[in-house]
């Protein structure tokens, strides 16, 4: 049997998601990758507002393209009685409900775990929010950058002069990952108990976990790690260095043996290894500016490729500082055949396979849906006639 024909871990699992933006869609796309049927409930007409973030992928949003493959789109205005009836009918037999609506919105619609479990005791409900379902910050608006700030991420990221946010939606991704792993755990638990459960995932708490190292570094009032740009806060040399052709190479030394090899085979100046200013990591840290000037002076005679060759010869860890074009064309991703194509309403686009190669199954890589693309098929499964589907469509577009 071909790998693509083998069973996937979540085949037969149905996930209904009231989702938008990044955190919940990132979670549910990963469930879909493993074979789950994900029914994405969207606003009629406009759909998930992330569809309109930009038009970079054949006229479609880059965010939406990234995290919405392999889903079905059901356009419902849940304020309409018929639409609400359809949603509740879906949830009566679903395995998982995921939602990241405004705080309290799902509960006001009668979609709290307490309300739903009476009709479907096996249902797993995962609520994703900025600050959690209770506490003084419960109703506070929470966007990715705001959570990065609240969690202290900005205090340790950037340069000494300027705190910087992450270049990706790191708080949303963290919350989406913990929602995903909690749902997998809840499915395993349900297999033992036969009962569903409620999951409450907070973006702040997800980022709090990821901030564990700087938290403990600043334990009991100690000085927190400084912002050092792309350089390491406590090891030097460790960070980006520019070669003579303008290319930038990231390198990192971990111990005194590597420091000696760096001086011998990269700088070609073995005497620097025993210079009193640089003969320990603590001293190199203290005299960073002087050492940086010395290193850059030597690197000016090298191209980035020549520098990488010397670093490899010396056994020094290194990497090219790639841009997005470099990542698209990365030879390692190509060699491991990590690219597939997925269909979209605007044609096929390349897509990275999910991380992790499993010998037992192949990931699901199905199309990205148009808004409401699957209304007729899904509602027909609930026993709706073509006339009822048409009437709902008319009511939602009135």
20 assigned to active site: no
Task: Please tell me the chain's helix, strand, coil percentages from 3-state DSSP, rounded to the nearest 5.
Answer: 45, 15, 45
Question: What does the pLDDT average to over 345-362?
Answer: 94
Distance of CA 15 to the CA centre of its chain: 19
Distance CA 80, CA 185 (A): 34
Mean pLDDT of 270-284: 96
Find the catalytic residue in 232, 287, 330, 374: 232
- Domain boundaries in the chain? 3-210+358-397, 238-321
Provide the sign of the torsion angle of the four alpha carbons 370, 375, 377, 382, taken in this order: positive
Give every CB contact of residue 16 below 8 A, 6+ residues apart in sequence: 39, 41, 87, 90, 91, 94, 96, 97, 98
> Given pLDDT bands bounded at 50, 70 and 90, which one contains residue 201?
very high
Whole-structure pTM value: 0.91
CATH number belonging to domain 238-321: 3.30.1540.10
Residue 176 has what pLDDT?
98
**Average of per-residue pLDDT across 192-216:** 96
Question: What is the 3-class SS of 32-86, one letter each residue?
Answer: HHCCCEEEEEECCCCCCHHHHCCCCECCECHHHHHHCCCEEEEECCCCCHHHHHH
Q: Round to whole Å and give the CA distance between 173 and 22.
A: 7
Enter the tokens of residue 192. 């033992």
Alpha carbons 352 and 95: distance in angstroms, whole number: 27
CATH pick for 3-210+358-397 out of 3.30.70.270, 3.20.20.70, 3.10.100.10, 3.40.50.10540 = 3.40.50.10540
| Inter-residue contact 130 to 202 (CB < 8 Å) | yes
Return the percentage of the chain with pLDDT > 70, whole number. 100
pLDDT beyond 90 at 373: yes
354-361 average pLDDT score: 92
Rounded Cα–Cα distance for residues 328 and 109 (Å): 43
Same CATH fold, 238-321 and 3-210+358-397?
no
Place of tokens 């209304």: 375
């Amino acid at each position: 049997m071909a790998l693509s024909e083998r069973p996937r871990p979540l085949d037969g699992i149905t996930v209904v998601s009231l989702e938008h933006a990044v955190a919940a869609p990132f979670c549910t796309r990963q469930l879909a990758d493993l074979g789950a049927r994900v029914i994405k409930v969207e606003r009629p007409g406009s759909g998930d507002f992330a569809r309109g973030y930009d038009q970079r992928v054949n006229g479609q949003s880059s965010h939406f393209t990234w995290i919405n493959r392999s889903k079905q789109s059901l356009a419902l205005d849940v304020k309409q009685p018929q639409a609400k009836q359809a949603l509740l009918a879906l949830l009566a037999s679903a395995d998982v409900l995921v939602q990241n609506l405004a705080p309290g919105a799902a509960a006001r619609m009668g979609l709290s775990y307490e309300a739903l479990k009476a009709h479907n005791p096996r249902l797993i409900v995962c609520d994703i929010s900025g600050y959690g379902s209770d506490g003084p910050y419960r109703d506070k608006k929470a966007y990715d950058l705001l959570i990065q700030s609240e969690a202290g991420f900005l205090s340790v990221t950037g340069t000494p002069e300027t705190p910087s946010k992450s270049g990706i939606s790191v708080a949303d991704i963290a919350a989406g990952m913990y929602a995903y792993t909690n749902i997998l755990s809840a499915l395993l638990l349900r297999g033992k108990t036969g009962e569903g459960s409620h999951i409450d995932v907070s973006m702040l708490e997800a980022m709090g976990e990821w901030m564990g190292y700087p938290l403990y570094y600043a334990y009991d009032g100690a000085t927190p790690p400084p912002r050092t740009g792309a350089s390491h806060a406590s090891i030097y040399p460790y960070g980006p260095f520019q070669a003579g052709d303008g290319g930038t190479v990231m390198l990192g030394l971990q111990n005194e043996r590597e420091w000696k090899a760096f001086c011998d085979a990269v700088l070609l100046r073995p005497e620097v290894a025993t210079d009193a200013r640089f003969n320990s990591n603590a001293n190199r840290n203290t005299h960073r500016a002087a050492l940086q000037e010395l290193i850059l002076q030597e690197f000016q005679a090298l191209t980035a490729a020549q520098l990488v060759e010397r670093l490899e010869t010396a056994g020094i860890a290194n990497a090219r500082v790639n841009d997005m074009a470099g990542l698209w064309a990365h030879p390692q991703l190509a060699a491991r055949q990590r690219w597939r194509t997925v269909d979209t309403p605007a044609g096929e686009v390349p897509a990275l396979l999910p991380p992790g190669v499993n010998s037992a199954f192949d990931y699901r890589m199905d199309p990205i849906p148009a808004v409401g693309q699957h209304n007729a098929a899904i509602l027909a499964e609930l026993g709706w006639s073509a006339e009822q589907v048409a009437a709902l469509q008319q009511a939602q577009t009135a």
